[in-house]
Amino acid sequence: MSPSQESVFPEYETDTSQTSKLIRKFKETPFVPVGMAGFVAVVGYGLYRLKHRGDMKMSLHLIHMRVAAQGFVVGALTCGVLYSMFREYVGKPKE
Note the pLDDT tens digit of each residue in 24-80.
877 777 777 888 888 889 888 888 888 887 888 888 988 988 898 888 888 888 988
Looking at per-residue pLDDT, the higher value among 8 and 41 belongs to: 41
Count CA atoms within 13 Å of residue 71 on its CB side.
Answer: 7
Instruction: Taking residues 9-32, report their average pLDDT.
Output: 72
What pLDDT, on the 0 to 100 scale, is given for residue 72? 87
| Range 53-65 burial, b when 16+ CB lie within 10 A, else e | eeeeeeeeeeeeb
